[in-house]
Structures are given as structure tokens and as C-alpha cells.
Amino acid sequence: MARVISTIVAVVAIGAGFAITYVLRRVPEKPTLDIDRWWGIGSKPREEDVTIRIFSIDFNDTMIQDLKQRIKDKRPLTKPLEGVQSEYGINTIYLNEILYYWVEKYDFKGRAAMLNRFSHYKTRIQGLDIHFIRAKPKTKVNKVLPLLMMHGWPSSSKEFAKVIPLLTSRWQNYDFVFEIIAPDLPGFGFSEGTNKPGLNPVQIAIIMRNLMRRLGYDKYYIQAGDWGSQCGTHIATLFPDEVLGFHTNMPLSSRSISTYKLLLGSLFPRLVVDAQYVDRIYPLRKLMTYILREGGYFHIQATKPDTIGVALTDSPSGLAAYVIEKMAICSNRDQLDTPHGGIENLNLDDVLDTITILWANNAIVTSSRIYKEGFGNPEVNLVQNIPTSVPTAVINFKYEVLYQPDWILKDKFHNIVRSTTLDIGGHFAALQTPQKLVDDIFAATAEFLKYYDDKNK
């Protein structure tokens, strides 16, 4: 009798598993979206401004002097507890050293000039002034491939300053080179934010797609990380015929089936992921502990970004502490026992560029709102559950925020043509390991081209 009951239970369990898998694998219908939705102030005018204007970055003297004076006038910072480095958050002794450098040694004008080496433009897309870098190759090659590069929080197109010169130059044995279009997402960097609710990553994806069409590109490649990767994923999902290849350094499948497989994999982790990378995702208890420890900022920005924004808008010292601490963790989460907490994996001037751009444009609130708009949004959830067949290449750096093996990623990306996992680097790959990122972009694009060559034979 016991055997019969056990058999019945096993059959029911297996049947339930298949039923759950079937339900979770169901693909929803692609939504009908307004690709001209107006995000500007007021209502949409009869005629839109479609001009493309030259733009130059300027850290003006008034802003610089105000920033420096605010830092000099700050209240004394509370010192870390005895024996504590960065375990409680930013080490304020170390922070004071950075603030001193920012005031006394950071070259505001020189850094702006460095960024102005590139050609900068602005154009109005769906009511918002969008800033972008457009970098054309300086060497003659037969194949010039348009590449849309998108950053995440708290960055801007500045994040790509080290890789753009490499991507626009002849590289090794490749017979192609890139033309780079690197925009600031709406509300980030020098791009205008909206005064209307609802500008989630799906809607931003539409804006980015419309920017590319404004520039004359009907087909193009995409490279992106963080929120930019989410936007790039949505472009590949909604406009698959326009994306020739998608390269991401933060690959993520948010489909319901992927969550189920993540949990299932905890029972047999070595069947899910290569043995050498098991510790990047299992045991789940360790992963959840890390997320709980480091996810507080995410929860704040996904619920009440405007509140924390008041403090960060008013204090450059507070803004620096907040941004540096998160950039540090995402560059090396294993260095909490050091005063720098991981930030020394990045060049200090690069970090201060990011913070200065946030401060100069008063962009901390408008950029942080993407968490509120994107987290748990029904429109986003629906599009996330639709897979894409666009040729995709993924690269996983060691200290990326989350790691998913290809077994899970293929739920979303049905056509992964290249997958790379490295034992170095972190979330800000273009700043921390630019050469590795560029190597992989070229190699991935070669795979994209080969894919189409094979398909057309």
C-alpha cells in the first residue's frame, strides 16, 4: 500500500512540475504601445522639433565654486566604529580624503575637455532633450557598424569614454569597426527628465529606438549594462527586426520560468551551472544574504526615490558617499574590510566624473526614479516575459550584481551565440576592465556577422 501511495505522490509531483513549467513558459502577446508617447512638459505640439544640435559639456565656475564651498562647510562626519572599515557603509575617514581631492585636485575643466574630445549632440525625442555622443571611426574600413551603447545608474554616456576610442579603431584581425551612438538615458547625465509618471525601461527603450531612427539607423547593434541592458533587452524584444545583435555585460532573464529554474537549480546546482561558477549563485541563502545586505538602496529608490533625493540634491558630500559606496560594492563586494570598500578598483577621476555630472545636472532624483518606474511595473513584467530571437552575446564579470547561467538566460534569449564568464571585473566594465569588454564586443560581433552569413547560405 505504501508503495502505491508513494507512486501516486511521485506521479502527481511530476505532473504538477510539468504543469507549472507549461504555465510559466507561456508567452504573452506583444503589447500595443504608443511609440510616439509624449514625455515633455505640457501636451504634444502639432509640429515637433527634430533638429540635431551640437552640444558641449561645461562645468561652469559658478557650479564649481558652489560645490567646493558646500563641501568645505559640511558638518564633521561621524567616524567609523572601532575595528570597522566599510562594513557599516562608507568609511568617512576615507571619504574625507576623496572630498579633499575633489575640492583641491580634481580638474573640473580638464575633465570636461577630456569628454569634449567626442562629438556631443542633443535632439528632442518624444518631448525630451536627449544628449548623446556620436563617434565615427577615424580609419577607413569597408564595414562600419552602428553600435548603440547604453549605460545604467548612476552613470551617463561618460562611462564609455575609455572604450569608444578602442571601438572606433581597427582591431586585431577584424575587418569591421564601429560607429558609436552613446546616449544619456532620460533623466541621466545631460538628458532631460520627464515631469510625467510612467517613464519605465520599456518606454525608455522606445525613446532610444526612436533616437536611432532619428539618426538614420533602421538596423544596428546594441551593447549595454545595468538599466541600459534592460532597455536594450526591451528593444530586442519589441523591435527584433531592427537589432542585428545584442551584447550585454549584465545578462538577465526576468521571465517567470527563470525564477522557477533558479529555485529548482538549488537542489542540483551542478546540473545548472559549471562547477567553477556554482558559488556565484548557490547556495541561495548566501545570494539572498548578499542581496539583503546590499539591496537597501534599491528598495528606497524603487519606493520613495524623491525622499532620499532631497538629501543627495542638497549635499555634494552626501551624494559622493551614496554613489561611491554603491560603485565600490559593485566593483568588488569582497573588500568591505578595507577603508575604500572596493572603490579603488576604479580610477578616482572616473568616479568623480560620474558624481560631478550628477551634481551639475541635478540628476540624482530623475535618474533614481527609474527604479520606481521599472520595479513591479505590469508593462515591464509583460515585456520581460516575451523571449527574443535576436542574436545575443553575454559576458559575466566576476563581481556583477547578479549571475545567471546560460540555462536560465536562454529562457529570454533564445539565440545566444557567444557566452563568456570571467574571474575578474565588476559591474562598471567599461571603466574597470575596458580592454576585456572591447575584446568581447569585437569577438561577439564577429559571431553576429557569421550567424547572418550562415543564415543566408
Under 8 Å between Cβ of 115 and 162: no
C-alpha 357/C-alpha 361 separation (Å) is 6
Q: What is the amino acid identity at position 409?
A: L
8-state DSSP, 172: T
C-alpha 432/C-alpha 331 separation (Å) is 8
Q: What are phi and psi of 299, to 5 degrees?
A: -65, -40
The active-site residue out of 260, 371, 399, 403 is 371
Task: Pull the grid cell for residue 426.
Answer: 565588476
Q: Dihedral of CA 266/272/274/277: which sign?
A: negative
C-alpha 103/C-alpha 105 separation (Å) is 6
| 282 catalytic residue (yes or no) | no
| 340 catalytic residue (yes or no) | no
Q: Which helix (H) or strand (E) holds 53?
A: strand 52-55
| 226 catalytic residue (yes or no) | yes
8-state DSSP, 366: H
Residue with cell 520606481: 372
The vertex-129 CA angle with 126 and 131, nearest 5°, equals: 120
The active-site residue out of 226, 350, 411, 440 is 226
C-alpha 351/C-alpha 161 separation (Å) is 12
The vertex-246 CA angle with 245 and 247, nearest 5°, equals: 120
Q: Is 128 exposed, middle or buried (0-12, 13-18, 19+ CB in 10 A)?
A: buried
Catalytic residue IDs: 226, 371, 427
